Chains A and B, each alone.
Chain A
Amino acid sequence: MFRIARRGVAVAAALALVVSAAACSEDSPGGNGAAVPGVTDTSILVGTHQPLTGRAAAGYSKISAATKAYFDYVNEKGGVNGRKIEYKVVDDAYNPAKTQEVVRQLVLQDKVFAILNGLGTPTHGGVLDFLKTNKVPDLFVSSGSALFNQPSKYPSTFGFNVDYVTESKVLANYVKKTFPGRKVCFFGQNDDFGTDALKGVETVLGPVAAKQNYVPTNTNVAPQVGALKAAGCQVNVLATITPFTALTLGTAAKLGYRAQWVGSSVGGDFVGLSALLGKPAPLLLEGYVTSGYLPSPLDEANPWTKLFKDINTKYNGNTPFEVNTLFGMAVGYTFVQALQAAGKDLTRSSLLEAIEKGGFEGPSLVPMRYSKDDHSGFSGTQISVIKGGKQALVDTPYVTDTGSGPVEPYTGTPATPPSSGIPAA
């Protein structure tokens, strides 16, 4: 025991000398040098966090693969300004604790140039401050939460998806025009998705007749759907994720409850919902109203769909081409567009300035909002209705704001893809 003690004191004394020496060594200011993190003359390293495993992986795990496929396509054609894009995707299993870890790995260890399309409100919301402190461009967050549109607080963070308020205002506007006088109710997820969507609906329609919510960990929605039925709701606006949209429609059918269902773009399209509902899908989905801001993956006549489908066949192992694939490609396209706009001398600030200049035209049905004071993505959606086993767009796209502004038709002509499939500089 004595020996240990004696040795210990000696070691400590010796080490104390070393540490005082080490402490004198100055830390250098990082990131001020000439080199831009993650960027060389021939490459750009970008990272993202996505749920590749666990519950949230359903559907969403296809997004990053599609983005990567688009980058592979661009790289094959020479990249952007001679730089090839490397896309590092890490799995966070939709666990905010894991997101903390993997984003730090991407930024501090892999030294990525930017974080692109990080998915989820609670997951990505937790790393905003870290990304801000490290001055990492945080582009096109995969969430419709208002959290990601705070230019004054988080100047380097940009949203992508149409925000929940805007989309539900467009949906509510359609309900108001198409189903006047009906009893409208609301069923949503118990997080910002649900509360924001409800806010949008009530901005347009006034207070709803009844509202219910669900937690994603409780898969019995019969009590809530039963309550909507008991309240005599005729039109139900849903803020549900795809599996829960299917569960809600199935449960309503089980209870013999017929109503008009109006779902958010987050809640799935015809293909996704059909896969979940199985055989009775055509019956259950007849008349289902939803909306979107990107062309349908089934719409072969749309030049964007055709372009992305070809890329999917060649660069994404010909995996099923669906909504999330198209979304991932759109993310890739928009990012390349931003890189082109930033020009040859790519730096973090030149990229951010280029996005704040806005004016991006791409596969979307509505314009993007990017400007100095607005970091949110798409400005509206277009309604589509499922009829006779087909999902068809209705009317024109509508755009609005997140406040009490009017919901107005958008009449601009949609852009067509450049012949190379790569946005021009």
Chain B
Amino acid sequence: MSGMANSTDTATVAPAPPRARATTGRRGNTLLRHVLIATVVGVVVVIATYQIEPFRNYQLATIGAYLCVLPGLILLTGFTGQISLGHGALMAAGAYTVALTPDLPFLFSLLAGVLVATVLGAVIGVAAARLHGPYLAGATLAVAVSVPAVTTTFDGLFGGDAGLTFAVSPAPASLGAYFPFERWQAWITLLGAAVVMLLLANLVRSRFGRTLRAVRDDEVAASLAGIHVGRVRVLAFVLSAAGAGLGGGMFALLAQSVSPGAYGLTLSLNLMLAIVLGGLGGLRGAVWGAIVLVALQPLADWATSGLDADPALQQRLEGTLPLAIFGAALIVVMTTAPGGLDALVTRALRRLRGARRSDPAAR
């Protein structure tokens, strides 16, 4: 952190890069700004991965994997208003593709996973484009529930209920003989997350982003304005499916194995919880959501670690107590902060800033 403070000091001395495309308007600026943010965050994270334990790296890697999926889901739900309970199944498509192509270089099997999920997403998206609210939720729920059925029906290919395991090549030797595998995992998933965030952040700022919001806010008005509503919805679904495929592939990398139980309804519901809890207002919500999903386990561990009751009582509370706390927390957060954690943080920051100078909040 002290490094941060130091470098902001140097900012005043560093010469500004020449702005060749300053005249191209907001779009160029946005792209540059996003690339810069991504670079800075990326560098910080890479440094961080050297400072922390393998388990923290694994957690960081998991956050990265979630961050491949969640932004697309926010695009779908937050920006076009479509509710999908089936993205766990799309992640399974990406994960199983990676698991079934262990001989390909990882990048290629990852891309293949994205491709498969995208195609699947296109099929579902086209079928779902006419559906609204709970009807879409119901249809995609059926998709999520079908994952185990598919894997056991074609168990010769997918390994049935027990799933598949596969070898993942370790970090390149040039990084050092004792380079922890978890750090390597973190690098890969976070790189994927950065790519997804960058692409979507630009997309949201573009004309297409405005189109998405127009469709969400008023379909009728949007179609009067010449927007092909169905096409926009399908496109959003396909984009989010691609992200889910990437995320699924990343999870396969993390686990070095796939099984239907890991990609069932629980995963789909968790994804939804994460984006709503994080905040559907912007892509930043995805970051909060991913952190929440990963923080759950340590929190559960903490909640039961102090438990030293008599064995009979302890048996009743182990496992159930963290779930009860999490459930209650979900209810409290949603009833007190409907905008999710992102809105909560923004509000807190604004209040802090407002205390200093009463400046009307700018978006």
Question: Quick check: do A and B touch in the complex, using CB within 8 A?
Answer: yes
Give the complex CA separation of A62 and B319 in angstroms. Answer: 12
Within 8 Å CB of A10, what residues of B? Answer: 7-8, 10-11, 14
Distance of A68 from chain B, by nearest CB (Å)? 8
A175 interfacial by beta-carbon distance below 8 Å = no
Q: Taking CB as reference atom, which chain B residue is nearest A72?
A: B311
Contact check, A22 vs B51: say whether CB atoms are below 8 A apart.
yes
Contact check, B318 vs A122: say whether CB atoms are below 8 A apart.
no
Contact check, A25 vs B50: say whether CB atoms are below 8 A apart.
yes
Within 8 Å CB of A238, what residues of B? Answer: none
A364 interfacial by beta-carbon distance below 8 Å = no
Contact check, A52 vs B319: say whether CB atoms are below 8 A apart.
yes
Dominant secondary structure of chain B at its interface with chain A: helix
Contact check, B315 vs A65: say whether CB atoms are below 8 A apart.
yes
A233 interfacial by beta-carbon distance below 8 Å = no
Contact check, B312 vs A318: say whether CB atoms are below 8 A apart.
yes
B337 interfacial by beta-carbon distance below 8 Å = no
Contact check, B162 vs A191: say whether CB atoms are below 8 A apart.
yes
A-B Cβ contacts below 8 A, count: 201
Contact check, A1 vs B29: say whether CB atoms are below 8 A apart.
yes
Contact check, B262 vs A26: say whether CB atoms are below 8 A apart.
no
Give the complex CA separation of A100 and B256 in angstroms. Answer: 10
Within 8 Å CB of B251, what residues of A? Answer: 97
CB contact under 8 A between A101 and B297, given known A10-B7, A147-B162: yes
Contact check, A12 vs B259: say whether CB atoms are below 8 A apart.
no
B133 interfacial by beta-carbon distance below 8 Å = no
| Chain B interface category by residue count | 35 or more
Contact of B257 among A26, A101, A126 (CB under 8 A): A126
Distance of A39 from chain B, by nearest CB (Å)? 19
Contact of A97 among B32, B177, B262, B313 (CB under 8 A): B262
A80-135, CB < 8 A from B: 89-91, 93-98, 100-102, 104-105, 108-109, 121-123, 125-130, 133
Give the complex CA separation of A95 and B251 in angstroms. Answer: 14
Stretch at the interface among A27-35, A341-349, A353-361, A404-412: A27-35
Q: Taking CB as reference atom, which chain A residue is nearest B258?
A: A126
B109 interfacial by beta-carbon distance below 8 Å = no
Give the complex CA separation of A104 and B19 in angstroms. Answer: 47
Distance of B230 from chain A, by nearest CB (Å)? 34
A14 interfacial by beta-carbon distance below 8 Å = yes
A211-255, CB < 8 A from B: 215, 217
A23 interfacial by beta-carbon distance below 8 Å = yes
Within 8 Å CB of B163, what residues of A? Answer: 96, 122, 125-126
Contact of A122 among B32, B178, B259, B300 (CB under 8 A): B259
Contact with A along B209-252 (1 / 0, CB 8 A): 00000000000000000000000000000000000000000010
Within 8 Å CB of B3, what residues of A? Answer: 14-15, 18
CB contact under 8 A between A6 and B315, given known A27-B180, A104-B58, A126-B255: no
Within 8 Å CB of A94, what residues of B? Answer: 261
A1-46, CB < 8 A from B: 1-2, 4-16, 18-19, 22-23, 25-30
Within 8 Å CB of B322, what residues of A? Answer: 91
Contact of A9 among B17, B152, B263 (CB under 8 A): B17
Q: Taking CB as reference atom, which chain A residue is nearest B263?
A: A97
Within 8 Å CB of A52, what residues of B? Answer: 318-320
B360 interfacial by beta-carbon distance below 8 Å = no
Give the complex CA separation of A127 and B58 in angstroms. Answer: 14
Contact check, A62 vs B40: say whether CB atoms are below 8 A apart.
no
Contact with A along B298-342 (1 / 0, CB 8 A): 101100000000111111001110110000000000000000000
Q: Taking CB as reference atom, which chain A residue is nearest B264?
A: A95
Contact with A along B177-208 (1 / 0, CB 8 A): 11111100000000000000000000000000
CB contact under 8 A between A129 and B256, given known A27-B178, A52-B318, A91-B319: yes
Contact check, A26 vs B176: say whether CB atoms are below 8 A apart.
yes
CB contact under 8 A between A12 and B40, given known A18-B47, A91-B300, A94-B261: yes
Residues of B near any A CB (own CB < 8 A): 3-4, 6-8, 10-11, 14, 16-17, 19, 29, 32-33, 36-37, 39-40, 43-44, 46-47, 50-51, 53-55, 58, 62, 145, 148-149, 152, 160-163, 165, 167, 176-182, 251, 254-257, 259-264, 266-267, 297-298, 300-301, 310-315, 318-320, 322-323
What are the nearest 6 A-B pairs in CB distance?
A317-B312, A52-B319, A14-B7, A8-B36, A191-B161, A108-B55
Q: Please list 10 pairs of residues, one from A and one from B, whose beta carbons are closer than 8 Å in the complex, sorted by A's number.
A: A5-B19, A9-B17, A13-B10, A27-B176, A53-B319, A97-B266, A108-B58, A191-B152, A215-B152, A316-B311
**Known interface pairs A53-B323, A96-B163; 19 further A-B residue pairs with C-beta atoms within 8 A, sorted by A's residue number:** A6-B17, A7-B8, A8-B37, A15-B40, A19-B47, A30-B178, A65-B314, A95-B266, A96-B259, A97-B251, A97-B267, A100-B255, A105-B297, A121-B161, A122-B260, A125-B257, A128-B165, A128-B257, A190-B152
